[in-house]
A and B are shown apart, each in its own frame.
Chain A
Amino acid sequence: MSVVADPHIDPNADPRAIAGEDSASQWRLIWGSFRRHRLAMTGAVVVIAFYLVALFTEFLAPFDPDAPSSRDVYHPPQMIHLFDTNADGSWAFRPHVNGMKLSRDRFTLKTTFSPDPDKKIYLTLFGDGTPYKMWGLIPMEKRLIAAVTPGERFYLLGADRLGRDMLSRIIAGTRVSMSIGLAGVAVSLLLGLVLGGVSGYYGGWVDTGVQRLIELKLSLPTIPIWLGLSAALPQDWAPLTRYFAITLILSLVGWTELARVVRGRFLALRTEDFVVAARLDGGSKARVIFRHMMPSMVSHIIASVSLAIPVMIIAETSLSFLGLGLLPPTISWGVLLKEAQNVRSIAQAPWLFAPGIAVCAAVLALNFLGDGLRDAADPYAQEGR
């Protein structure tokens, strides 16, 4: 009997068999099935866009988000007009916004803005704006959108009660809100991995202990815990310290879900034949866990993480909205929404709700992304179906 047989010339091979995908790695397969998930792809694009905004905040914001303007309190949003009529009636491509005139009712003292046909503020891409420091380090003047005449102000998404540009503030809030999601998840991931991993790998009384701890944690109502913890933070802490403290509070609440996912995967994998085989190959405990078990879990963990980020963002927003999370002068979406708490803003300046749209968009996009990742995480299982 000849032992060496080339399977490629095997006469018993199924003629219908589809060749290819032979040496595709795990990540190629995941990407392949993720790409076919339209909604998730859209989500991924939106999420990436949000994080790019968070990264280049200073450059993208037309103005310093903290610069007030007393004449422009509750200035309504202005439309960008792309074409301008010249004096002789011909058209030219010159993007601009129409200026607004402030008038005050003589009896009620109510301020109203009305279009000023004489005043046009011309805009340009990559123009010079107020100077700033990129990432607090590099001094720069260029901004994505700037007025041609330096010093002129325009409000694409309106202004708030101190006349600060809402667009700049939302863009600035993106950095804090999106990063607090990431940072919070990173801390919960650490807690979840360690506790869930220990619980799943060792089992026995360790598992029982950790599980009871998770159940205890889950039995406590979330909002009061957050409120209690953040109310206990000293009011005079620096914004940065407070930011980290809030992150910690959020992640203390969020780790349980991840711990359960990790434990479940560990339990399922522990009895898989290939893990037993790895043990019999003489691998140490650490090698069995990190070399053999972890790669099978990474995709699942990424999926759970991308589903945990929106929860964190929502939590931060809620806390800040209630005035117990981040505090001004820090800018986050929640802090911005706090401005929109009263009836007056609904009646007079509905554009103050714009950060809410940003929250919705970010959370939805992250959820779609997470769903798609979760479905794609196990390309092997799907092939078997």
Chain B
Amino acid sequence: MSGNADSPAGMPNVPAGSGQEPRPVLEVRNLVTEFATRRGVFRAVDDVTLSLYPGRTLCVVGESGSGKSVTARSILQIVDPPGRVASGQVLLHRHLTARGRGAENTVDLVSLDPRSSAIRAIRGRDVAMIFQEPMSSLSPVHRIGDQVGEVIRLHEHVSKREARDRTIELLRKVEIPRPEVAIDRYPFEYSGGMRQRAVIAMALACNPAVLIADEPTTALDVTIQAEILALIRQLQRDSDMAVMFITHDMGVVAEIADDIAVMRFGKMVERGDVFSIFEKPQHDYTRHLLNAVRELDRPSERRLAMRAKASPGAPILVMSDMRKEFPFSTGFLGLKHDSIVAVEDASLALKAGENLGIVGESGSGKTTLGRCLQRVHPVTSGRILYTDRHGKTIDLAPLTDNQLKEPWRDIRMVFQDPFSSLNPRMTVGQIIGEPLLVNGSLSGAGLRARVAELLGLVGLPASAAERYPHAFSGGQRQRISIARAIAPDPRIIIADEASSALDVSLRTQILDLMLDLQERLDLSFIFISHDIAVIRYFCDRIAVMHRGRIVETGDTETVCSNPQHAYTQSLLSAVPVADPRRRGMTHRFRYREP
């Protein structure tokens, strides 16, 4: 272990100044977890060995399907059936923790029956877990205080009043404002970040020796993520917990890890402390992962080269004072109408051949803006002027679905979710050919040839046309989605979080593919994302949205390096940087509306 005393924020907590080896509180040895499927046994976790030390954070990193969550669940024996721990040991050294709770010394969690009271006593008391989705880990019909208090009362014999006092104390510890009042609230009255804080409070209720956090910040906005990470670090410092932190985000890893374990296909490919992994990665896969992260968050060289050759032309899609309200009915029989403003008088212009990024946190109205631009949703007021390839300008705002058929051939969409955006009952060939078939431009052999050509353009074999979407991975499905978008030879593509559902190494591939198509097919992109790094890589200009308003627009580099609006500054400061040396160097603050 390298004791990097110079790291900021006083991170490494290796017992200082002693030659004594730090002793792990939890050891996982040769763990194998298998899932019995129809087609044989699937090894989700294959011979994983790791150790957790008090006061240190082990980040388990890997892409989706690498078995990192199953590893965490195997430790507590809560793997969903048909999965089961096949072999290995999970040793919990209780006597080595500072908790000093009881006579048992080392327990092998694997040897306990998953339904026994022995393991139930360990879950939540010695080893606590935080899950990804804060809303589904809280019961919607019980008060926050009751849910946190229940954990205390389950494991310790305390009176109701004492449990309540301790709950208030816990809520204060996780920095929930006014805990005396907040304790009697329901989860739906909490924001996403508050909920995750409450879940953390629940996990900490019995002062556990080990905290397992399974992607605790993935569902949260980046500004809230920064706060939660800081909180976990703070709590760990206070109580000398061992933390196992599962994430796919190298930025988060750089922010919080002391040690790193990299997983791939159920196996652990590399282990080490944070600095050696980031600076001297040994395994190819680790290098690949780090490169994929580092490639993002700076402008794509390919894009810069393309712009140097041909700079963007005249505006082709101009939105002026566009407003979108969603009505909802109230009152008896829904006779009274009220509305919420999703997009407030926004103005934007997309030039021919440029990539315009729209960035904002969840609920900022960026998806609604994209859908209104394309007129999937009707707009409340304002104009959307589209200039077609013959130079004729029309206002899309008042058109009907029938009149929109023509512009819809030029303005296409790529959706976020690669699973729900492809009809599971149609073959890939039918999906891609659909726009060509319905406008009657192609059919029969001509259509098949065009579909094969489109599949080639997005890097898929022509044989893919005969298969159904479920046979493809997320990245391949997104390629199919792009092939469908470019099928009628469009001019503008609105990509709504098109890379967000993908693993980081696939993200750059998809973005490069879109840049490639831009060059070949003369496209313009509107790219909607919550991820600044992706926007920075892909977009020439950027519009920052907050609560339905566009607060700042400008060249991507200018905005990213010198943000003018306070919200943009707050957003940029919260983005985790994939460099452990720069940990804690950025000053974070939360934007509050004036």
Contacts and interface: CB of A to CB of B under 8 A. Distances in A.
Interface string A209-240: 00000000000000000000000000000000
A23 B466 contact: yes
A274 B434 CA distance: 12
Contacts of A285: 401
A364 to B, nearest CB: 28
A131 interface: no
Interface in B393-439: 401, 405, 408-409, 412-413, 415-417, 420-427, 434-435, 438-439
B423 A292 contact: yes
Contacts of A21: 470-471
Interface stretch (A6-14, A141-149, A163-171, A247-255): A6-14
Given A15-B265, A295-B425, A22 B471 contact: yes
Given A7-B461, A282-B435, A23 B456 contact: no
A25 interface: yes
B422 A16 contact: no
B438 A296 contact: no
A272 B376 CA distance: 13
Interface stretch (B16-24, B34-42, B164-172): B34-42
A274 B439 contact: no
B467 to A, nearest CB: 5
A127 B376 CA distance: 71
A10 to B, nearest CB: 10
A210 B457 CA distance: 48
B412 to A, nearest CB: 7
A283 B438 contact: yes
Interface string A1-36: 101111110001011101011111110000000000
B438 A282 contact: yes
A300 to B, nearest CB: 12
A25 B471 CA distance: 11
Looking at B413, B420, B457, the one whose CB has the most chain A CB atoms below 10 A away is B420
B484 interface: yes
Looking at B374, B427, B434, B516, the one whose CB has the most chain A CB atoms below 10 A away is B434
B415 A4 contact: no
B461 A8 contact: yes
A25 B427 CA distance: 8
Interface string B453-483: 0001111110000111011000010000000
Contacts of B413: 276-277, 280
A22 B265 CA distance: 21
A5 B459 contact: yes
A208 B334 contact: yes
B420 A272 contact: yes
Interface in A130-152: none
B220 to A, nearest CB: 23
B505 interface: yes
Nearest to B416: A273
Contact of B422 (A5, A15, A274, A280): A274
Nearest to A283: B438
Nearest to A5: B459
Interface residues of B, number: 51
Looking at A1, A21, A274, A292, the one whose CB has the most chain B CB atoms below 10 A away is A274
B427 to A, nearest CB: 8
A380 B466 CA distance: 18
Nearest to A36: B38
Contacts of B345: none
A63 B475 CA distance: 67
Contacts of B415: 273, 276-277
Contact of B505 (A12, A23, A296): A12
A325 B169 CA distance: 70
A18 B38 CA distance: 10
A281 B433 CA distance: 10
A278 interface: yes
A24 B425 CA distance: 10
B65 A14 contact: yes
Contacts of B133: none
B471 A3 contact: no
Nearest to B334: A208
Given A8-B461, A24-B468, A280-B408, A1 B516 contact: yes
Nearest to B285: A12
A279 interface: yes
Interface in A265-289: 272-274, 276-285, 287
A380 B471 CA distance: 11
Contacts of A278: 423, 434
A105 interface: no
A208 B333 contact: yes
B190 to A, nearest CB: 26
Nearest to A1: B512
A277 B43 CA distance: 37
Contacts of B216: none
B576 interface: no
B461 A3 contact: no
A274 B471 CA distance: 17
B55 interface: no
Contacts of B471: 21-23
Contacts of B265: 14-16
Given A16-B43, A18-B39, A273-B417, A282 B405 contact: yes
17 contacts: A3-B459, A5-B459, A6-B461, A7-B461, A12-B505, A24-B468, A26-B425, A26-B468, A208-B333, A272-B420, A273-B415, A273-B416, A279-B376, A279-B401, A280-B408, A281-B408, A282-B405
Interface of A: 1, 3-8, 12, 14-16, 18, 20-26, 208, 272-274, 276-285, 287, 292, 295-296, 380, 383
- Please provide the 6 A-B residue pairs with the shortest distance between their CB atoms, ordered closest to farther: A273-B421, A281-B435, A295-B425, A22-B471, A274-B423, A273-B415
